[in-house]
Amino acid sequence: MKVLELKDQSPQEITVKIKDYTFEEFVEVVRSFHGFEAVGILIGGFMVDEAYRHLPRGPLFDALCETPKCLPDAIQLLTPCTIGNGWLTVFNIGRYAFTLYDKETGDGVRIFLDPAKLDPFPEIKAWFFKLKPKKEQDLARLLYEAKTAGTSICGIQHVRVPHKLRDKQHQNEFAICPRCKESYPVSDGESCLACSGEEIYEQVPPDISGEQV
Amino acid sequence: MKVLELKDQSPQEITVKIKDYTFEEFVEVVRSFHGFEAVGILIGGFMVDEAYRHLPRGPLFDALCETPKCLPDAIQLLTPCTIGNGWLTVFNIGRYAFTLYDKETGDGVRIFLDPAKLDPFPEIKAWFFKLKPKKEQDLARLLYEAKTAGTSICGIQHVRVPHKLRDKQHQNEFAICPRCKESYPVSDGESCLACSGEEIYEQVPPDISGEQV
């Protein structure tokens, strides 16, 4: 977990890996998936890389992410866990941290971005604490610092994820909602949650998009 | 929205597109991202494709997905909206549906899987209503039916997403939690939500993963 020595080399010349990608390859992957080279996902990539270094081989892992900002995308890009397959859960308590844990036992590794380790990286610190408006951020400097910092700004804890956060809801029976005529989990009641509660959407005429459906 | 005529052709011979991918290419993309060729994402791919056919060009769209099962991954793979960039929100009301809507106005197109259109596709119907245990599903038949059905099993509505579901929470000030020493949004109070409430994790000794940190 040493900070790279960059005295005699430009950061472009140093090969830094994030799982199976070089840093530069991962920047491209992030750009393609997320829309832009969000530094939060690049740092998140190092965090996922660090988690795997401390996990035993063998068990299947689920992910619990403590923020919806950026970090879930690093997890989705670098682990088998996605929102859609249910192996990634976002439990928003506002900390830049996640845990990869054994599905069976709940035992896992929690990685967090450690504020105490950010002093050597002022641009990351300014980004992380939102000390600068976005337009004043120096993206090139941020990427340089992210690549340089690597996993050195991570903190690690061994934790056990409790049942209440890892037990999945399995809906095994579906029915047609008598109001909207769509399918819904029977366990939700006589009609689907949208029709049982207040109307979610305002229905609008199709000419909003300039066409008839 | 016609069902493909497959009388004289094997489905492998027909080129079916899901946005910029052929069906077969998209199967590979799904396998790589989601871990397996989940039919829910393949059908979701057609649903996203259908949404774009009914959206005007120009505005930036956000996505609201009504289920966490499979469909969010189709949205993340085929639109710029991801969980991590905040342009995709999952609001779980158990319906297999999503809306792509103009960020500014809330006007958008809602696509749902329409149960009334599933009779010609018995394997999709059995999958959708969980009429068969997973191990009895015929994956080849499911993929065949998904490719054949394409967008013909979608329903479409023009809707307006209300402010309460599209207004994003922007946290602009962060502090160090006096207990866990991690960063958290100041608006959450004197300490982070994890430390204000009950402890989320049980801390365990590092030898669980067979190493010292």
Chain A residues close to B118, C-beta within 8 Å: none
| Cα diameter, chain B | 71
Q: Return the closest-CA partner of residue B87 out of A51, A156, A35.
A: A35
Q: Is A118 in contact with A128 (CB distance < 8 Å)?
A: yes
The answer, yes or no, to whether residue B3 has pLDDT greater than 70, is no
Chain A residues close to B182, C-beta within 8 Å: 95-97, 112-115, 155
Mean pLDDT of the residues in chain A: 89
Strands B183-185 and B174-176: antiparallel
Determine the average pLDDT of the residues in B105-121: 96
The answer, yes or no, to whether residue B58 has pLDDT greater than 60, is yes
Q: Is B85 within 8 Å of A73 when comparing Cβ atoms? A: yes
Q: Is A194 within 8 Å of B93 when comparing Cβ atoms? A: yes
Report the complex ipTM.
0.88
The answer, yes or no, to whether residue A50 has pLDDT greater than 60, is yes
- What does each C-alpha distance from A210 to A166, B104, B157, B176, B178 come to in angstroms? 45, 17, 14, 50, 54
Q: Return the closest-CA partner of residue B213 out of A63, A159, A58, A54.
A: A54
Please give, rounded to a whole number of angstroms, the shortest distance from the CA of B16 to a CA of chain A.
22
N-to-C CA span, chain B: 57
Q: pLDDT tens-digit profile of B86-105?
A: 999 999 999 999 999 999 99
Q: Is A202 within 8 Å of B160 when comparing Cβ atoms? A: yes
Spell out the domains of chain B, with CATH numbers in brackets: 11-166 (3.30.1330.130), 174-209 (3.30.60.80)
pLDDT of B212 reads 42
Q: What confidence tier does A176 reach under pLDDT thresholds 50, 70, 90?
A: very high
Q: pLDDT tens-digit profile of B176-187?
A: 999 999 999 999
pLDDT of A11 reads 56
Q: What confidence tier does B164 reach under pLDDT thresholds 50, 70, 90?
A: confident
Find the closest chain A residue to B161 by CA distance.
A201
Is B117 near chain A, with CB under 8 Å?
A: no
Is B17 near chain A, with CB under 8 Å?
A: no
Q: pLDDT tens-digit profile of A123-161?
A: 999 999 999 988 999 999 999 999 999 999 999 999 999
Is B184 near chain A, with CB under 8 Å?
A: yes
Chain B residues close to A128, C-beta within 8 Å: 174, 183
Q: Tell me if residue A131 falls in helix, strand or coil.
A: coil
Is A196 near chain B, with CB under 8 Å?
A: no
